[in-house]
Chains A and B, each alone.
Chain A
Amino acid sequence: MEPVIEAIDLGKCYQRRGVGAPTLMSRLAHMGKSTVHEPFWALRNVNFSIPRGTTVGVVGPNGSGKSSMLGLAAGTIHPTEGRIITRGRISSLLELGAGFHPDLSGRENVFLNAAVLGIPREDIARRMDAIVEFAGLKDFIDTPVKHYSSGMYVRLGFAVAVEMNPDILLIDEVLAVGDVAFQMKCFDRLNEFKKQGKTILLVTHDLVAVEQFCNEVKLIHEGSLVAEGAPADVVMEYLKRYMTRIGQLNVEEHGTRDVEFTQVALLDENGKEGTSFETGKALVVDIRYRAKKRIEKPVFGYSIKTGNGFFIYGTNTQLMKVDIDAVEGEGSFQLRIEPLSLMAGKYFLSLSAHSWDHETQYHRLEDWYPFAVTSPSADLGVFQLPTKWTLPRPD
Chain B
Amino acid sequence: MNHLHDIMERRDLLWNLTVRELKIRYRNSALGFLWTLLIPLFMGLIYMFFLRLMAGRGVPMSEIIIGVFAWQFTVTSVNSGLHSITGNTNLVKKVYMPRIILPLAATLANLINYLLSLIVQFPLVAFLLYLQGEFISPMAVALPLVLILHFILNYGIALLLAAGNVHFRDLEHLIGVILSAWFFISPVMYNLSFIERVAADHPILLDLYMMNPMAIICTAYRAIILPHVSFPWTGLIWISIAGCGLLYVLADRIFSRQQKNFADML
Contact = CB atoms under 8 A, between A and B. Distances in A.
Interface stretch (B58-66, B73-81, B165-173, B233-241): B165-173
Given A23-B168, A115-B16, A99 B91 contact: yes
A111 B16 contact: yes
Interface stretch (B19-27, B126-134, B198-206, B220-228): B19-27
Interface residues of A, number: 32
The secondary-structure label for the interface of chain B is helix
A287 interface: no
Given A23-B168, A95-B90, A101 B24 contact: yes
B168 A24 contact: yes
A103 B27 contact: yes
28 contacts: A14-B264, A20-B169, A21-B168, A22-B167, A24-B174, A71-B93, A74-B95, A74-B96, A78-B261, A92-B96, A94-B93, A94-B95, A98-B94, A99-B88, A99-B91, A99-B95, A101-B20, A103-B24, A104-B20, A104-B27, A108-B23, A112-B16, A112-B17, A115-B12, A115-B16, A116-B13, A116-B95, A118-B10
Contact of B23 (A14, A76, A104): A104
Interface string A80-109: 000000000010101100110101100010
Interface of B: 10, 12-13, 15-17, 20, 23-24, 27-28, 88, 90-97, 166-171, 174, 260-261, 263-266
Contacts, number: 88
Nearest to B165: A21
A145 to B, nearest CB: 12
Contacts of A111: 16
Nearest to B23: A104
Contacts of A294: none
Contacts of B10: 115, 118
A120 B12 contact: yes
A320 interface: no
Contacts of B93: 71, 76, 94
Contacts of B90: 95, 98-99
Nearest to B167: A21
A129 B57 CA distance: 63
